[in-house]
Structure 1
Amino acid sequence: MNSQLRSPIAYFGGKSAMVGKLLPLFPPHKYYCEPFFGGGSLFFAKQPSLIETINDRDSEVVNFFRVLRDENKFSEFYRRVNLIPYAREEYDYFRQYSSTDPIERAVAFFVVHRLSFSGLGKYGSFSFSRTRTNRGMAAAVSKYLSAIDRLPEISARLKQAQIENLDFEQCMKNVDSPDTFFFCDPPYLPKTRRSGRYNSEMTEDGHKRFLELCIRLSGKILICGYPNDLYDETLKSWTTKEWQTVCYAAARTRQTGILGKGAALKMQPRIEKVWFNYNLDYQFQVV
């Protein structure tokens, strides 16, 4: 596999830290669909499929990736973000910004998600480095500049995808086939987390509708989430795997006590679980 491409944004609930665990679980497939795209970490990390469909109910997410995909709009977007410094004032400004222009909306979306803590966007706070450095500068600034540098690659990669702004059910039904693989990372079930920070939330009834759909489709499906009885009972015939992780949205501060190596795992432990409806043709090992 070639060097993996990384998502251009940090996104609440995203799976950038789990790419190494999730990609080995992907089955062979011709067609690929992500009905809850978000930041798209797995899409950018994987090799292209014959047909790819990426979907999100959040119109700001969809607008952002559509602008990146459009050659003319991307050129102007790229020029503008290169002029924006990593600064709290910029985050505060774009956090309140409103526009109907697609390029301006995309710029605001990018800046707010790149400059916010844990990709919380307008729901978060400005992220800065206290002592951590990278490439001879603050680590936060280094990540921001690196994200800008890889935008042309992101733009090129998106040209191969169909981008939708549909309800998950319509999206999945549209592309379902025995040769389709669905990677599903829906918003965490509300009762398994402490707060709601998604622009497009999903109620428990929404999760039930999603699960009922999944057991009817003919494609291969992998679903991410926290352990819960609803998923276990509905998908009781599916294969499951789980591993220990942390809450990446928990602030690393003196107030929370989450400072230093291993502190997050000690103070904010979580279990990530996946459910999938196919057999793996090789030995699985969580790395």
Structure 2
Amino acid sequence: MSANTPCHRSAQSSQLSNSPVTRRTTASDKKLLRCPFPYFGGKSSIVPIVNERFGEITALREPFAGSAALTLAREPVAHEALNDVNHYIVNFWRAIKSDPESVAEHAHHPVTEADLHARSTYLFRGDAVKGAQHRIAQDPEYFDPRLAGWYAWGKSCQIANAFEGVQKSKPSMRGNGVCVPVYRTQRARQLALIDWFGALAERLHNVRILYGDWQRLVSAPSSLGLFNKNSISGIFLDPPYAHSLARVQQLLGLATEISDPDRGRTDCYLCDDDKSQVDQLVADVNHWCQQSGSNPRLRIALCGYSGEHDNLVSDHSWTKHSWTTHGGWANTSKKTDTRGKENKSRETIWFSPGCVGE
């Protein structure tokens, strides 16, 4: 299948076997309802807390979808939508939703350094970048299962954004590819991936997948899922971590000058060319929360590092919940003072007054 050929739902079929494939599990198998590649800053471990604070809702929105952790972990509600500005993430979820077996075919691959470099170059520095962006933006039915499978495989071989900027002089093969339990045969592993991706497709069947700026999903009552007076919408905001906490505070009008521009620096997003744009985005999300948080029909959860959005608590009656991650790849370092190990205890979620509980 050519990566340059638009794919549509009606045109796809599995190439994993010459015989029909029978799915052995359904979306009710909770173990399969998780993103198949590691995602930096994923919130899967805090989902139970968010579900408890959201309570019964009629709509769910994830403007910064990423790994879609909350949507995948919740029971479906009437109106659900994901959005992301990363075209490869959008392509992955589109392809999973429409043709999970073909995605599984291309994601099933041994971890080899030559392929890692070749696929990284093709996806992020070749013609595929511009072509995929254009097609995803112009054709709502377009998806490419090969690019989706390669993206999932590559993200599973490298931590954070290293797959996007992999360097031949610095080999890092700590990932094991798209992981399923160890099986005796390749065919068993392929079938396990089909089960996994098929379960994701079933869960995403009625979920709308948008591509673009996050504000498109929260700009109007209809986009928020507020269709009538009984509608209650859960908004899960998981923007990038701020690069400079001091700069964010200045953008929010909480500080007149930046005495230490690197205070609270995270350096989490390796591919961000302009860190100030990330800080502006964090400030924009905070402004939206200030304006929308008092709406009793909105239950908003905003994720970030400690201190980023405390003005919502002091000035707008929000509450916050701090938690500690498992540490992920940071645990593989023998150093005790790495930024990753410091950041794992800085995770915080701020909840709007309309949320259930506290």
Tell me the TM-score normalised to structure 1 length.
Answer: 0.78
TM-superposed deviation, 1:68: 1.3
Which residue in the other structure is 2:111 paired with? Answer: 86
Tell whether the 8 Å contact from 1:10 to 1:119 is kept in structure 2 after alignment. no
Which residue in the other structure is 2:203 paired with? Answer: 157
Q: In structure 2, give the amino acid aligned to 1:104.
A: R
1:126 matches 2:189: no
TM-superposed deviation, 1:194: 2.7
Counterpart secondary structure, 1:126: coil
Name whichever of 146-155 and 235-244 sits farther off: 146-155
Quick one: structure 1 residues 193 and 6, their matched pair in 2 at CA, closer, same or farther if it must change by over 3 Å? farther
1:187 matches 2:240: yes
Counterpart secondary structure, 1:43: helix
User: For residues 211-248 of structure 1, what are the alpha-carbon distances to aligned partners after superposition, in whole Å with 9 as ceiling and x for unaligned?
Assistant: 111232332210111111x5111453211111233543
Summarize the alignment of residues 143-222 of structure 1 with structure 2, pairs less than 5 Å apart.
149-174=195-220, 175-176=223-224, 177=226, 179-191=232-244, 192-197=264-269, 202-217=277-292, 218=295, 219-222=298-301
TM-superposed deviation, 1:146: 6.0
Quick one: structure 1 residues 63 and 57, their matched pair in 2 at CA, closer, same or farther if it must change by over 3 Å? same
Which residue in the other structure is 1:37 paired with? Answer: 65
Q: In structure 2, give the amino acid aligned to 1:221.
A: I
Structure with the greater alpha carbon radius of gyration: 2
Quick one: structure 1 residues 144 and 40, their matched pair in 2 at CA, closer, same or farther if it must change by over 3 Å? farther
Gaps of 5+ in 1: 138-142, 259-263
1:277 matches 2:352: yes
Counterpart secondary structure, 1:114: helix
TM-superposed deviation, 1:75: 3.7
Which residue in the other structure is 2:157 paired with? Answer: 115
Tell whether the 8 Å contact from 1:69 to 1:158 is kept in structure 2 after alignment. yes
Tell me the TM-score normalised to structure 2 length.
Answer: 0.64
TM-superposed deviation, 1:38: 0.5
Give distance in 1, aligned partners of 2:47 and 2:165: 25
Q: Aligned Cα RMSD in Å?
A: 3.4
Q: 2:319 aligns with which of 215, 230, 239?
A: 239
Give distance in 2, aligned partners of 1:107 and 1:8: 10
TM-superposed deviation, 1:47: 0.8
1:68 matches 2:66: no
Aligned residues: 265
Give distance in 2, aligned partners of 1:24 and 1:273: 16
Counterpart secondary structure, 2:266: coil
Which residue in the other structure is 1:140 paired with? Answer: none
Quick one: structure 1 residues 208 and 120, their matched pair in 2 at CA, closer, same or farther if it must change by over 3 Å? same
